[in-house]
């Protein structure tokens, strides 16, 4: 765990001798990954949790299924906000931890400064009045990695963790997704018992049978023992992240498969949200589709209060999503999923906006901009001039607005908003401007003139005209 860009995934890459970081969008871990490595003949399972602020819930979930946490801190940047947030999760879960001070190969590395900052955050490491182990490491040069793994194993020995493969099954789902080809997939960590191919499984409202089990490299496994990770194929629907996997349903719990069938293998709990906002308040209506349940959860928890989530689910954007958007007036946000060709064609016909993103912070920034635009429709416009309507008259059968320009200027060809009180009513375009008997190109601040529009505009005295243009960057 640790702050974004402090090298958590890169450090794990060095331990695994893989290149997972390069495969993540923008170099930022978007999901929880669980990986098994062997050191000195002993197995270790690592859970890599995202560092971005939006993934606080995923980091919290990570601490709850671990026996030991490695807190990664950049030797140059030191303790940052998400470092402290990670510490809060660690303390709340009551999980023992050690510290990896990463990037000591950099010229500005200052491990002692990091230890001092940790002390200020009430984490006392060895040599600074405490017993928390702090190991200086470099993911780039691999310096200190053996010591880090040795200290991890020593800590595990001290904890004396039991392994009960014959006990009743208890596993935690740390990620789930809807694979386009395979169907619902769930990444689990087994805490007790054993998951075997062919075994019955229950997780929250869904159930199934382990048709296949894979490791992080996609290789088939016959079983998953306590402390080991694995990806399971066989649930009827995408199970909820954080659910406990057992081999049978608790007494009295009903499973949704007995009465409900949904297209696409998505569990009912992940579909229609039913969230509403005050009808008198402006609200951005969204349909959210994501590639994994953990990501879906993180996005939902970081949406603004002015967002009404019409629906959220794991999987590609479908025609059903477009039809739902059309009937509810919602926009569709897609995170790391595709839009089917038929859905894209339908969206174009119905004028439905489908926006795709690969990075969580870009998606949240986009939502903020959409909310801002909803609350203030002219937020992305350049105001050219303002005028108040002081009279109305008809010339040659055409309705003319007698105006006094109060700011900027009005120019022939300008687009204008018609504003009445606090409400923006209609838009029009200036066809011609008149001052007395003269036709002019523009009317400046402090001047009066008559305005004719290209279309009939139902204006009234005391209404306001706002001339505007869209910036080139917004086109």
Residues 420-464 have pLDDT tens digits of 887 778 888 999 999 988 899 999 998 999 999 988 888 989 999
Query: Domain total for the chain?
Result: 4
In-domain check, residue 191:
yes
pLDDT of residue 262: 32
pLDDT of residue 472: 55
In-domain check, residue 234:
yes
Percent of the chain with pLDDT over 90: 30
Based on its alpha-carbon atoms, the radius of gyration of the chain, rounded to whole angstroms, reads: 30
Based on the domain organization, do 230 and 114 belong to the same domain?
A: no
Based on the domain organization, do 322 and 305 belong to the same domain?
A: yes
Domain boundary among 313, 346, 375: 375
Structure tokens given for 450: 């008559």
Compute the distance between CA of residue 97 and CA of residue 317 in angstroms, rounded to an integer.
Answer: 41
- How far from the centroid of its chain's Cα atoms is residue 39's Cα? 35
Domain boundary among 315, 341, 375: 375
Grade residue 257 by pLDDT with cuts at 50, 70 and 90: very low
Based on the domain organization, do 20 and 142 belong to the same domain?
A: yes
Based on the domain organization, do 447 and 361 belong to the same domain?
A: no
Compute the distance between CA of residue 28 and CA of residue 4 in angstroms, rounded to an integer.
Answer: 8
Please check the confidence at residue 318 and state whether its pLDDT lies above 80: yes
In-domain check, residue 2:
no
Based on the domain organization, do 370 and 390 belong to the same domain?
A: no
Based on the domain organization, do 190 and 137 belong to the same domain?
A: no
Structure tokens given for 107: 């010229």
Instruction: Quote the mean pLDDT of the chain.
Output: 81
Based on the domain organization, do 179 and 203 belong to the same domain?
A: yes
Based on the domain organization, do 180 and 244 belong to the same domain?
A: yes
Estimate the share of the chain in helix, then strand, then coil, as percent rounded to the nearest 5: 25, 35, 35
**Which of 26, 21, 3 is CA-nearest to residue 100?**
3
In the Cβ-directed half-sphere of 366, how many Cα atoms lie within 13 Å? 19
Beta strands in 40-157, from DSSP E residues, in sequence order: 42-48, 69-74, 97-102, 134-136
In-domain check, residue 3:
no
DSSP class of residue 132 equals B
Compute the distance between CA of residue 281 and CA of residue 190 in angstroms, rounded to an integer.
Answer: 46
Number of H helices, E strands in the chain: 10, 26
- Looking up residue 356, the CATH number of its domain turns out to be 3.40.50.10050
Please check the confidence at residue 25 and state whether its pLDDT lies above 70: no
Based on the domain organization, do 56 and 151 belong to the same domain?
A: yes
pLDDT of residue 414: 92
**Tens-digit pLDDT profile for residues 389-410:** 999 888 878 889 999 999 889 9
* Site of tokens 């765990």: 1
Q: What is the mean pLDDT of residues 253-274?
A: 41
In-domain check, residue 18:
yes
In-domain check, residue 257:
no
How do 448-453 and 442-444 pair as beta strands? unpaired
**Tens-digit pLDDT profile for residues 27-57:** 544 455 777 888 888 888 888 765 444 445 5
Based on the domain organization, do 424 and 451 belong to the same domain?
A: yes
Based on the domain organization, do 91 and 66 belong to the same domain?
A: yes
User: In this predicted structure, which of 17-21, 127-131, 319-323 has the lowest mean pLDDT?
Assistant: 17-21
Compute the distance between CA of residue 324 and CA of residue 97 in angstroms, rounded to an integer.
Answer: 47
- Looking up residue 20, the CATH number of its domain turns out to be 3.40.50.300
Based on the domain organization, do 279 and 366 belong to the same domain?
A: yes
**Which of 272, 303, 315 is CA-nearest to residue 176?**
315
- Torsional sign, CA 366, 369, 375, 378: negative
What DSSP string runs through 226-264? TT-EEEEEEESSPPPTTPEEESSPPTTPPPGGGT---GG
In-domain check, residue 454:
yes
Domain boundary among 251, 286, 309: 251
pLDDT of residue 304: 78
User: In this predicted structure, which of 97-101, 204-208, 423-427 has the lowest mean pLDDT?
Assistant: 423-427
The boundaries of the domain holding residue 138 are 8-159
- Looking up residue 463, the CATH number of its domain turns out to be 2.40.30.10
pLDDT of residue 269: 37
In-domain check, residue 165:
no
The structure's pTM equals 0.54
* Site of tokens 């955050």: 121
């Amino acid at each position: 765990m640790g702050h974004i860009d402090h090298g958590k995934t890169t450090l794990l890459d060095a331990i695994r001798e893989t290149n997972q970081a390069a495969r993540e969008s923008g170099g930022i871990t978007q999901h929880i990954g669980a990986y098994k490595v062997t050191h000195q003949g002993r197995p270790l399972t690592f859970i890599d949790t995202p560092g971005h602020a939006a993934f606080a819930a995923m980091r919290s979930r990570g601490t709850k299924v671990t026996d030991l946490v490695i807190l990664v801190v950049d030797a140059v940047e030191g303790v940052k906000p998400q470092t402290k947030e990670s510490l809060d999760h660690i303390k709340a879960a009551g999980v023992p931890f050690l510290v990896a001070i990463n990037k000591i190969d950099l010229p500005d590395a200052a491990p002692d400064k990091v230890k001092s900052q940790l002390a200020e955050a009430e984490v006392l490491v060895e040599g600074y009045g405490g017993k928390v182990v702090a190991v200086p490491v470099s993911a780039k040069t691999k310096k200190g990695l053996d010591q880090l793994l040795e200290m991890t194993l020593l800590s595990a020995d001290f904890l004396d963790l039991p392994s009960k493969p014959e006990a009743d099954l208890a596993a935690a789902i740390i990620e789930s997704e809807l694979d386009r080809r395979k169907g619902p997939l769930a990444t689990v960590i087994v805490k007790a018992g054993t998951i075997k191919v062919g075994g019955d499984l229950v997780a929250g409202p869904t159930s199934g049978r382990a048709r296949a089990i894979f490791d992080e490299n996609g290789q088939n496994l016959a079983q998953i023992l306590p402390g080991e990770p694995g990806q399971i194929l066989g649930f009827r629907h995408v199970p909820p992240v954080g659910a406990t996997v057992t081999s049978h349903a608790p007494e009295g719990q009903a499973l949704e498969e007995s009465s409900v069938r949904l297209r696409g293998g998505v569990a009912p709990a992940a579909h229609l949200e039913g969230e509403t906002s005050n009808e008198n308040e402006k609200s951005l209506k969204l349909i959210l589709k994501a590639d994994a349940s953990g990501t879906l959860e993180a996005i939902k928890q970081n949406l603004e209060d002015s967002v009404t989530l019409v629906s959220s689910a794991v999987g590609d954007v479908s025609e059903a999503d477009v039809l739902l958007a059309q009937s509810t007036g919602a926009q569709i946000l897609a995170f790391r999923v595709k839009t089917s060709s038929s859905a894209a064609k339908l969206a174009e016909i119905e004028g439905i906006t489908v926006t795709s993103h690969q990075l969580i912070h870009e998606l949240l920034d986009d939502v903020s901009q959409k909310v801002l635009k909803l609350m203030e429709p002219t937020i992305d416009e350049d105001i050219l001039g303002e005028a108040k309507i002081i009279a109305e008259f008809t010339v040659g059968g055409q309705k003319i607005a007698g105006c006094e320009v109060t700011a900027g200027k009005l120019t022939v060809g300008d687009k204008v908003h018609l504003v009445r009180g606090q409400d923006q009513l209609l838009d029009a375009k200036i066809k011609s401007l008149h001052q007395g008997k003269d036709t002019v190109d523009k009317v400046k601040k402090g001047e009066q003139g008559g305005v004719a529009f290209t279309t009939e505009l139902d204006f009234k005295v005391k209404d306001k005209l706002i001339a505007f243009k869209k910036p080139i960057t917004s086109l």
